[in-house]
Each structure stands twice: as structure tokens, then as C-alpha cells.
């Protein structure tokens, strides 16, 4: 290998291994990465410019679509800034509901990530398990908000939908299943040799590098940097709830895995407290259509890390300027560092370990019968049932496993 020539291979912007367009030019000597050059921007949609041309209310829905997974994160971060400029005192029931949705979103995002990470290291059973369990939280989100992502819960001055006592019960029931499963994932992450060996020492980012490169979220916390906006700069109801900021000293992909699975447990804790202490009262306070001139910056701990929105108002119904910095932009710069001197084969999992953001929103399937061409609409429950039956016919049956889980819960 010592005489092998240097190679430069392009990965992306369109590449089967990437879920979103981004360009990597990887300099290689043998299997070893000498350096990586990253080209971003392929997904830039001009949302900041578009936000200046729309009203604040329209912007909530536009900004919710910055990300398919952290949709509630972005809309909350944006309206917090607007509410601060307008001097609105958002009712505490609304703040609690925002917090509950935020943590449900984190659960859905972290479980999704766990599956992707499993897939990237060839552990597809973990992908199947975690994505199946993720359906529990997706169902909860759908029943409260009407959608699996892009919840449309926020409005300036509060939230648009309440959580009824029945829905609260439904959430608590779902959390029981999720908690049981998460304990199992923590067990896997901390005891399963394959995972520990495959992820340890991969994608190393020291504490100093986190500070230098301004990494955020689980990427920073897995390098021992206790940085979490929920605790440092509390918003919504976080100031009134108790939870631990999970950190790890491993500084590698393994640490990032441990941090995320343990954070799931904190999310359950937060949601239970918020439901127990959910204050009575109105859901919104009346907000003006025209926002008085002023500026505010809002921070929010999205599943991937700190999200930052700056809003400048000019007294009209449209903002003068909206600036958005999503967590992946802060973290992607650390990737270069994590890959240097590592093997090419580590690239997919190292990139996946910062949890770069990609979209998923599917609700209804429209099928066309091959023979007669007739349209058939399948709703979510029947699609769910159909998929279970489809797999059962092919010998994949989770009935026993589900029963075991139910029995464990019943104990």
C-alpha cells in the first residue's frame, strides 16, 4: 500500500449511498482517506428570501417545511422569535403542548437515526426493529396533530390543537412500549460486541475539535461537551421540567449512538412530567397581524442539535429578514475532520452519525390495479395490516415477538 498512488474519487452530489444531494471529493491513498472536500448547497431552496415575501402566518408553514423531520423544531424556533418581538405572553398550556410535540419529534427522529445507523453498518435487523417501534410514536403524532410530520401545531401566540385527556392516556400507553423497547436498545448499544467494535474509534472528534468547529447536539455531547439549549437557554416549558443532559466521553460514532438512545429515556421523562403538570387555560393569545419593528434571536434544541432563527421585523405583516441556521450546517464541518486518516469504508456511518437531515412523509398510498387500471385508495390502518399480512405470507412473522413484548409490559 505504501507505493499506491493517490486517488480522488467523487461521491455525490447524486450517489446511491447518499440520501440527499451533497458532494464529497475524497482523496485516497489505498483505502485511507487523506482529505475530504465537501460541496454543499444542492438543496438550497431560497426559503429565507421566500420568507421575506410572505406574511408571518404563511411563513410558519413555509418554515415548517425547512426539514421533513424537525418540522416542529423549525416552526417553534421561528415563532419564538416573532413572539418575542411582538411581546406576546404565550399561555403556559401552549408552551407545554409545544414541549410534548418537540419531544415526540425527538423520539421519532432518534429512532429513525438508530435504524439508519444499523443499516449503514450492515445490521439491518436493528433497522427493522427500530423503524417498527418508531411507528408507535408516528401514530401518536398522527392522532394528536393529524400528520406524521409537518404537524401544523404552532401559530403565533400559541398552538392550534389541544391534547385531550384521552389523547394523554394514549401517549402514556405508547411511551410504555417505547420505553421497554428503548431499554432493549440501550442494552444492545452497550453490550452487543458487533456494535461496540464496529463503532468504537470511528469518526473521532475530540472535545477541543467540537469547540473549535462549533459542533452541536448529540455530536457535541458525545465528545463530552454539555451543550443543550433546553438546559442552557430554556424555552417553551423546559425551564419547569427536570431532565438530564446526556453526555459521553467516547468522542466517536459509538458515543453518538449511546447519547441518542439514552436521550430517548429523557424524552419519555419530559413528556410524562409535561402531561402530568399540563396547565389549564387557553391555547393561544391573540397576535397582531403586523409585527412591530424589532429583532430577536431564538434557539431551540432540535434532535440534531441547536437550531437558530433570527427574525427582524419592520412593522408590516411581512418580516424584513429571517435567518435560519439548521444544526446540520454546524455539524457537517466536523465530518471533514472525522474522516481524515480513516478508511473509506467508514464514510457512510461517519456521515450518518451526525444524523444529516432527510425527509420522510408518507401517509396514503394510491394503487393502480395492474389488470383493470382502476384506482384504489388504501388508508393507513389497512396499509399497515396489508404489510403485516404480506410479510407473514413470506415467513416473516412478529406475532410471537409482539406477544412477548405485551407480556413483559403486563408484568
Partner 1 sequence: MSQEEKIKESLINKFNYLSDSVKIVRPRRISIEVSLDNFTPVFAYLAKELQFSHLCTITGLDEPQNLGFIYHLASDAGILINLRTFAPKNNPVIKTVTGYFPGAEIYERELVDLFGARVAGLAAGNRYPLTDDWPADEHPLRKDWKPKPAAEGEVDKNA
Q: Which residues bind partner 1 (CB under 8 A)?
A: 37-41, 44, 46, 48-49, 84, 211-215, 226-227, 229, 231-234, 296-297, 299, 306, 308, 310, 312, 321, 323, 325, 329-330, 332-334
Dihedrals phi, psi of 165, to nearest 5 degrees: -60, -35
What b-and-e string marks burial along 184-219, b requiring 16 or more CB atoms within 10 Å of the CB?
Answer: ebeebbeeeeebbebbeebbbbeeebbeebebbbbb
Give the list of residues 6+ apart from residue 220 with CB closer than 8 angstroms, or none: 210, 227, 305
Minimum Å gap between C-beta 306 and partner 1 is: 7
Residue (180 or 233) nearer to partner 1, CB? 233
Residue (20 or 233) nearer to partner 1, CB? 233
93 in Cβ contact with 280 (< 8 Å): yes
Minimum Å gap between C-beta 307 and partner 1 is: 10
Residue (31 or 232) nearer to partner 1, CB? 232
Cell of 180: 421497554
Residue (296 or 388) nearer to partner 1, CB? 296
Residue (212 or 363) nearer to partner 1, CB? 212
Give the list of residues 6+ apart from residue 19 with CB closer than 8 angstroms, or none: 356, 358
DSSP 252: S
Minimum Å gap between C-beta 409 and partner 1 is: 38
Distance of CA 211 to the CA centre of its chain: 22
Minimum Å gap between C-beta 46 and partner 1 is: 6
Minimum Å gap between C-beta 234 and partner 1 is: 8
Instruction: Give the Cα separation of 10 and 27 in Å (integer).
Output: 9
Cell of 166: 384521552
Minimum Å gap between C-beta 323 and partner 1 is: 4
For residue 158, what are the β-bridge partners?
155, 284
Residue (262 or 299) nearer to partner 1, CB? 299
Amino acid at each position: 500500500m505504501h507505493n499506491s498512488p493517490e486517488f480522488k474519487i467523487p461521491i455525490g452530489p447524486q450517489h446511491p449511498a447518499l440520501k440527499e444531494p451533497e458532494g464529497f471529493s475524497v482523496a485516497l491513498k489505498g483505502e485511507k482517506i487523506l482529505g475530504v472536500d465537501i460541496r454543499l448547497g444542492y438543496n438550497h431552496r431560497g426559503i429565507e428570501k421566500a420568507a421575506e415575501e410572505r406574511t408571518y402566518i404563511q411563513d410558519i408553514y413555509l418554515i415548517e417545511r425547512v426539514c421533513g423531520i424537525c418540522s416542529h423544531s423549525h416552526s417553534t424556533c421561528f415563532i419564538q422569535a416573532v413572539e418575542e418581538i411582538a411581546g406576546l405572553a404565550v399561555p403556559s398550556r401552549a408552551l407545554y403542548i409545544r414541549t410534548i410535540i418537540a419531544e415526540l419529534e425527538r423520539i421519532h427522529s432518534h429512532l429513525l437515526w438508530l435504524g439508519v445507523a444499523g443499516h449503514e453498518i450492515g445490521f439491518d435487523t436493528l433497522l427493522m426493529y427500530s423503524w417498527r417501534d418508531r411507528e408507535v410514536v408516528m401514530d401518536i403524532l398522527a392522532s394528536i396533530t393529524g400528520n406524521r410530520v409537518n404537524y401544523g401545531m404552532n401559530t403565533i401566540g400559541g398552538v392550534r390543537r389541544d391534547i385531550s385527556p384521552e389523547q394523554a392516556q394514549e401517549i402514556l400507553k405508547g411511551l410504555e412500549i417505547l420505553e421497554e423497547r428503548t431499554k432493549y436498545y440501550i442494552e444492545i448499544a452497550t453490550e452487543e460486541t458487533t456494535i461496540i467494535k464496529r463503532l468504537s474509534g470511528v469518526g473521532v472528534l475530540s472535545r477541543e475539535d467540537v469547540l473549535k468547529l462549533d459542533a452541536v447536539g448529540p455530536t457535541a455531547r458525545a465528545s463530552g461537551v454539555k451543550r443543550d439549549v433546553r438546559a442552557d437557554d430554556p424555552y417553551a416549558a423546559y425551564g419547569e421540567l427536570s431532565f438530564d443532559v446526556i453526555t459521553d466521553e467516547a468522542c466517536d460514532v459509538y458515543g453518538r449512538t449511546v447519547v441518542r438512545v439514552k436521550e430517548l429515556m429523557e424524552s419519555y421523562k419530559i413528556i410524562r412530567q409535561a402531561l402530568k403538570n399540563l396547565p389549564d387555560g387557553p391555547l393561544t393569545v391573540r397576535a397582531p397581524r403586523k409585527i412591530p419593528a424589532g429583532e430577536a434571536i431564538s434557539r431551540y434544541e432540535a434532535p440534531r442539535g441547536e437550531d437558530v432563527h433570527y427574525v427582524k421585523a419592520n412593522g408590516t405583516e411581512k418580516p424584513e429578514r429571517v435567518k435560519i441556521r439548521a444544526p446540520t450546517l454546524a455539524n457537517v464541518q466536523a465530518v471533514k475532520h472525522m474522516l481524515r486518516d480513516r478508511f473509506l469504508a467508514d464514510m457512510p456511518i461517519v456521515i450518518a452519525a451526525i444524523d444529516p437531515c432527510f425527509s420522510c412523509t408518507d401517509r396514503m398510498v394510491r394503487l393502480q390495479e395492474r389488470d383493470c387500471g382502476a384506482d384504489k385508495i388504501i388508508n393507513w390502518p389497512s396499509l399497515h395490516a396489508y404489510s403485516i399480512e404480506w410479510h407473514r405470507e413470506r415467513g416473516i412473522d412478529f406475532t410471537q415477538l409482539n406477544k412477548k413484548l405485551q407480556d413483559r409490559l403486563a408484568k
